[in-house]
């Protein structure tokens, strides 16, 4: 054979540029394949069961109890008594309605045609019976935020019930055991439905009020910018500027603040000293008067304030920036006459509820012996969640539904250390229980015992919380920034051997966040 023909038959040597291009193509193919695989493998299961009866399709963590034996208790058996001394009945019909936000009208999702829905007012000890009627095309629920309801009334789609479809009804029954300021909202696709209007306030009046209030008013923060139309977003009582509350000079005012949106609100009162009488519905023991202290009202949280109107002029609730300067955004004026606009204090103090009010003996403090000790490390990273790329929010490095549940036995004293290692604020909400705040950043709570259902944790902050496992069921424990909740930051606190017939996941129609 001639040399020439060999050369002719053999492959031409590749030019360096071609080699680089081929290598790049290979890398791209591998990267693309990996991204595709990551996106695909991040998809949430089409059907998943949260029962703790051994049929749970969630992974059980190291802290899980041994697999239960014997028949499981169905979730439906955790229900309110049939009768009580007094019953309050309500019907909430979900429908779309036009709602005026600032000077725009939007089509909101509503309970009874208003957003927020009607304020439900009951007395401590009442049996509350709420019939939900759904006329919306999408499935909905009602979760009673902060109320230690029996598990079957918790309103979490895919855990305690199926989402209530168009034409269906569901009846919630619970005893309003504790007085205070609470709220309710849908827990089906909450990140969408709460934003669009499915929320309202629940007020439980004490059997015997400690003090007389001349004015009892509420201010609800809500961000309407995701309600399907480009509204100005941030509102207080549906106004983008200033809301008004009537109060005569000298009147005692009880002001309930509720944050229903995903951001915290830094707020204070100017024009009168005030006390924080309760947080998340739980009274604070002997609260001291505050002057221009900045409250960080976290998503889902409530603050009850009390103050006396001055002899002259009005009082203003303002939002402040991180330098403590009032913003020109939303505010509320209480009373008539001149309303102050600026703070007297150039460096207003940040309200520290861990050293506020007067201490008193409490069954759950930092010095309590706990039977069951847990850690939740909060963080986020960029990655795939349910098939799309963006921020993924994690607890102990994992995101929903791969975060092992905390398993608690009835009667146990449970401690959770929550450490925010990320850069965002995380308002962590535990269903079915209120918890005592034990410490912040390693420093024990020294003032009044503080009981919350939602703890607003700033970046790099840590808290220890404790609670008595006294309400058996399957409970969510999640971030109440609902953007975070719908991108991974949810887990379960479960009592062992409880079964639920409801599944979550796309195939089931139940998507709680
Ligand atoms: Cu969060």
How far apart are the CA of 378 and the centre of ligand 1, in A? Answer: 8
Q: How far apart are CA 125 and CA 178, in angstroms?
A: 8
> How is residue 486 annotated by DSSP?
T
Residues 6 or more apart from 254 whose CB is under 8 A from it?
213, 215, 216, 217, 277, 304, 305, 306
How far apart are the CA of 512 and the centre of ligand 1, in A? Answer: 16
More confident residue, 158 or 6: 158
How far apart are the CA of 395 and the centre of ligand 1, in A? Answer: 10
Q: Evaluate if residue 161 carries a pLDDT over 50.
A: yes
Question: DSSP per residue over 11-55, as a string?
Answer: PPPPPHHHHHHHHHHHHHHHHHHHHHHHHHHTSPPSSEE--SSS-
How far apart are the CA of 350 and the centre of ligand 1, in A? Answer: 21
The CATH code for residues 79-208 is 2.60.40.420
The CATH code for residues 48-71+361-508 is 2.60.40.420
Residue 59's pLDDT band, with cuts at 50, 70 and 90, is very low
Nearest to 312 by CA among 253, 217, 248: 248
Spans of all domains in the chain: 3-41, 48-71+361-508, 79-208, 213-351
Nearest to 119 by CA among 357, 270, 302: 302
How far apart are the CA of 376 and the centre of ligand 1, in A? Answer: 12
How far apart are the CA of 340 and the centre of ligand 1, in A? Answer: 34
Q: Evaluate if residue 32 carries a pLDDT over 90.
A: no
Cα angle 189, 194, 197 (rounded to 5 degrees) comes to 130
pLDDT of residue 5: 42
* Residues 321-377 pLDDT 10s: 888 888 877 889 999 988 888 899 889 999 999 999 999 999 999 999 999 999 999
How far apart are the CA of 424 and the centre of ligand 1, in A? Answer: 7
Span 224-234, mean pLDDT? Answer: 62
Please report the ipTM that was assigned to this predicted complex: 0.81
How far apart are the CA of 420 and the centre of ligand 1, in A? Answer: 9
How far apart are the CA of 24 and the centre of ligand 1, in A? Answer: 38
Nearest to 480 by CA among 454, 498, 503: 454
How far apart are the CA of 293 and the centre of ligand 1, in A? Answer: 25
Q: Of 11-15, 82-86, 219-223, 293-297, which range is least confident?
A: 11-15
The reply to whether 213-351 shares the fold of 79-208 is yes
Cα angle 393, 398, 402 (rounded to 5 degrees) comes to 115
Fold of domain 213-351: Immunoglobulin-like (2.60.40)
How far apart are the CA of 470 and the centre of ligand 1, in A? Answer: 26
Residue 116's pLDDT band, with cuts at 50, 70 and 90, is very high
How far apart are the CA of 459 and the centre of ligand 1, in A? Answer: 10
How far apart are the CA of 310 and the centre of ligand 1, in A? Answer: 39
Nearest to 485 by CA among 346, 388, 389, 391: 391
How far apart are the CA of 513 and the centre of ligand 1, in A? Answer: 13
Span 104-117, mean pLDDT? Answer: 92
Nearest to 393 by CA among 417, 355, 432, 420: 420
- Could you tell me if 455 and 437 are in contact, meaning their C-beta atoms sit under 8 angstroms apart? yes
């Amino acid at each position: 054979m001639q040399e020439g023909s060999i050369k002719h038959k053999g492959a031409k040597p590749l030019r360096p540029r071609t080699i680089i291009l081929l290598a790049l193509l290979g890398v791209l193919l591998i990267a693309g394949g990996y991204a595709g695989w990551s996106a695909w493998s991040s998809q949430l299961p089409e059907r998943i069961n949260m029962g703790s009866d051994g049929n749970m399709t969630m992974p059980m963590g190291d802290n899980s109890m041994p697999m239960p034996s014997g028949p499981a208790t169905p979730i439906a058996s955790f229900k309110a008594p049939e009768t009580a001394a007094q019953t309050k009945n309500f019907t909430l019909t979900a429908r779309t309605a036009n709602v005026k936000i600032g000077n725009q009208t939007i089509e909101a999702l509503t309970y009874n045609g208003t957003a927020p829905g009607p304020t439900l007012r009951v007395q401590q000890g009442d049996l509350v019976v709420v019939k939900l009627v759904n006329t919306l095309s999408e499935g909905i629920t009602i979760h009673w935020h902060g109320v230690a309801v029996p598990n079957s009334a918790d309103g979490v789609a895919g855990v305690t019930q199926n989402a209530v479809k168009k034409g269906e009804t569901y009846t919630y029954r619970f005893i309003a055991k504790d007085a205070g300021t609470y709220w309710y909202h849908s827990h089906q696709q909450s990140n969408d439905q709460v934003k669009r209007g499915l929320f309202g306030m629940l007020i439980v009046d004490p059997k015997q009020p400690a003090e007389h209030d001349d004015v009892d008013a509420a201010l609800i923060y809500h961000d309407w910018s995701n309600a399907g139309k480009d509204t100005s977003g941030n509102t207080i009582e549906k106004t983008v500027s200033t809301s008004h509350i009537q109060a005569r000079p000298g009147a005692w005012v009880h002001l309930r603040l509720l944050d229903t949106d995903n951001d915290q609100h830094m707020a204070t009162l100017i024009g009168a000293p005030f006390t924080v009488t309760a947080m998340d519905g739980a009274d604070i023991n002997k609260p001291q008067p505050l002057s221009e202290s900045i409250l960080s009202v976290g998503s889902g949280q409530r603050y009850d304030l009390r103050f006396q109107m001055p002899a002259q002029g009005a009082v203003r609730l303002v939002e402040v920036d991180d330098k403590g300067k009032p913003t020109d955004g939303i505010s509320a004026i209480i009373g008539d006459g001149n309303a102050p606009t600026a703070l007297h204090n150039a460096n207003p103090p940040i309200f520290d509820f861990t050293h506020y009010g007067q201490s008193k003996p409490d069954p759950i403090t930092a010095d309590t012996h706990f039977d069951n000790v847990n850690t939740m490390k909060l963080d986020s990273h960029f990655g795939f969640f349910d098939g799309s790329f963006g921020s993924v929010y994690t607890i102990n490095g994992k995101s929903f539904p791969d975060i092992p549940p905390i398993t608690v036995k009835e009667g146990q004293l449970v401690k959770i250390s929550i450490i925010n290692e990320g850069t965002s604020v995380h308002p962590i909400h535990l269903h079915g229980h209120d918890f005592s705040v034990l410490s912040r950043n390693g420093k024990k709570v020294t003032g009044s015992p503080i009981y919350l259902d939602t703890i607003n944790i700033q970046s790099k902050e840590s808290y220890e919380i404790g609670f008595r496992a006294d309400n058996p069921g399957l409970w969510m424990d999640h971030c109440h920034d609902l953007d975070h909740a719908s991108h991974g930051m949810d887990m379960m606190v479960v009592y062992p051997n409880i079964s639920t017939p409801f599944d979550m996941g796309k195939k089931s129609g139940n998507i709680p966040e």
